[in-house]
Amino acid sequence: MLVVSFTVTVTDHTKPGQTLFNLMTLGASGTLAGYTVKGGGQALIAFSKVGYRSIQVDSGAGSVYVGDANTANDGTQQGLTLSGGDMWARDDYGSPITLDVYARASADSTVFNVMIEGE
């Protein structure tokens, strides 16, 4: 089993949302437009299946909106809203799940942690 965990700080909440996959893999450089990633990069690991993923929002400046590419930064068009201290986990072993889940924040300086387990 492989486990990847990383912390994301939103530096510009007006930038487009990013997928967990992009944050995990492109985070190797430490930054994406509007996001700073710490702990990404080991992410060049190729998962054949992802069985568990979680997002936990630190107490602080804003909420994290989880959804598809249309997720907005104003609390509209998201599938899920996570406020400070909230955690969302998806445990789906035996049935592959995607990392094409978008995360976007309502405010700059929002911090959230991501953990992904797979094989």
C-alpha dist (Å) from residue 102 to 1, 3, 61, 94, 95 = 24, 20, 19, 23, 20
Ranges of residues in the chain with a pLDDT under 50 are none
Q: What does the pLDDT read at residue 104?
A: 92
A 10 A CB-CB count for 91 gives 10
Tell how strand 50-57 and strand 87-91 pair up.
antiparallel
The CA-based dihedral angle spanning residues 103, 108, 112, 118, taken in that order and rounded to the nearest 10 degrees: 40
Q: Residues 93-108: pLDDT tens digits? A: 666 666 788 999 999 9
Q: Whole-prediction pTM value?
A: 0.86
Domains of the chain (ranges, CATH numbers) = 2-118 (2.60.120.770)
Query: What would you report as the CA-atom Rg of the chain, rounded to the nearest whole angstrom?
Result: 13
Q: What does the pLDDT read at residue 97?
A: 62
Q: What does the pLDDT read at residue 56?
A: 95
